[in-house]
Structure 1
Amino acid sequence: MKKVLIAVDESKGSLSVIDTFLDIFSCMRPEEVILLYVEKLEGGPMMDAMLGGPEMAAMKEALKGTDYQNMLDKKAEKVIDFYRAAFDKNNVAGIRTVVSEGHPADEIIATAKVEGVGMILLGSRGKRKNIYLMGSVSREVANRSDIPVLIAK
């Protein structure tokens, strides 16, 4: 496998991707590992349901350069740095980081397609509180992706 996308966030569930990756790719590592962090605007499922693509794009544009956007960027950098250090410590080469904005499942699937990865790896539980009503990000990615998905526990 040439490329693997690993979706990470600040949740405890996301930590399991490190050991899962190291176990699965213990003998043969992919040429490139893409660490993806998705910045999500806080607002919950109601905001996701009510705002379509154009409205979300307008909101993202309006937030550029604000303190809120700077806070999101710092959080993304901190999370990405943590995972990069963990993989570096275990001699995983070919790491490239990507930070995107939007609905996590949509962004994970879109990035995987654009990058042409052979597998998506993500944790089983994120930080969404509405898991019982809407389903988790990992479940949504697994159900919608044409690319193989491995959910780490």
Structure 2
Amino acid sequence: MKKVLIAVDDTKGTRKAFDMCTKACLCIEPESISLVYVEKLEGRSLMDDQLLSVSEMKTLKEALEGTEYQEALDKKAQAIVEYYKKLLEDSGLTSVKTIIRRGHPAEEILAAAKEEGSDLIIVGSRGSRMSHLFMGSVSREVANTADIPVMIVK
């Protein structure tokens, strides 16, 4: 595996699972690692349930461009990817690229993996009371849709 893409977010589940992501990358020894964070542009229910059509999503992205709200989202996203990049670099993994995208998380993770030519996607599972029964909707969609291997870390 030459290129690994790791999807990150600001949840406790990702922070807890990231140690395993780091260990996996140390074993795999990829040439490059891409950290991808997807900004959800609106409330959780809108993005997770895919209530917005492609044209509505485009309109929303355009409307938010240059606003204080978008600047706050960008600042938060940058802080998150830099945090995880530093963890990888502190472990000796130095070829790390950060990617920030906007939209539906599963779709954007898959698009980033394709654009980067990734050989493996690592994504966390949802950390809830029912996590022993169900994967998160994003990890499930990525695993079911990807045409490359997907590692789901809990």
Q: Tell me the TM-score normalised to structure 1 length.
A: 0.87
Query: Identity, % of aligned pairs?
Result: 50
The verdict on how the C-alpha distance between 1:139 and 1:79 changes in structure 2, with shifts beyond 3 A counting, is same
Report matched runs for 1:42-81 at 5 Å.
42-46=42-46, 48-81=49-82
Give 5+ residue unaligned stretches, structure 1.
Answer: none
Given that residues 17 and 122 in structure 1 are in contact (C-alpha distance below 8 angstroms), is that contact kept between their aligned partners in structure 2?
A: no
SS in 2 for 1:51: coil
Cα distance 1:65–1:4, how it changes in 2: closer, same or farther (>3 A)?
Answer: same
Aligned position for 2:102: 101
Kept in 1, the 8 Å contact 2:50–2:104? The answer is no
When the two structures are aligned, how many residues end up with a matched partner?
149
1:54, distance to aligned residue in structure 2 (A) = 1.0
CA distance in structure 2 between the partners assigned to 1:36 and 1:121 by the alignment: 10
Which has the higher mean CA deviation after the structures are superposed, 138-147 or 25-34? 25-34
Show structure 1 runs of 4+ deviating over 4 A.
none
2:10 alignment partner in structure 1: 10
**TM-align CA RMSD:** 2.3
Alpha-carbon deviation of 1:45?
3.1
Q: 1:59 to 1:70 in 2, by over 3 A?
A: same
CA contact (8 A) 1:80 1:97 kept: yes
Residue 30 of structure 1, CA deviation:
0.3
Contact 2:39 2:101 in 1 (8 A): yes
* 2:148 corresponds to 1:147: yes
3-state secondary structure, aligned to 2:26: coil
Corresponding residue for residue 30 of structure 1: 30
Is the 2:82–2:98 contact (alpha carbons within 8 Å) kept by the matching residues of 1?
A: no
1:129-140 equivalences under 5 Å are: 136-140=137-141
Q: Please give the secondary structure, in 2, of the residue aligned with 1:25.
A: helix
Read off the aligned partner of 1:77 and give its amino acid letter: Q
Instruction: Label 1:69 to 1:6 Cα distance change in 2 as closer, same or farther (>3 A).
Output: same
- The 1:75–1:44 alpha-carbon spacing in structure 2 relative to 1, beyond 3 Å, is same
SS of equivalent to 2:42: coil
Q: Structure 2 vs 1, CA of residues 125 and 64 (structure 1 numbering), >3 Å: closer, same or farther? A: same
TM-score (normalizing by structure 2)? 0.87
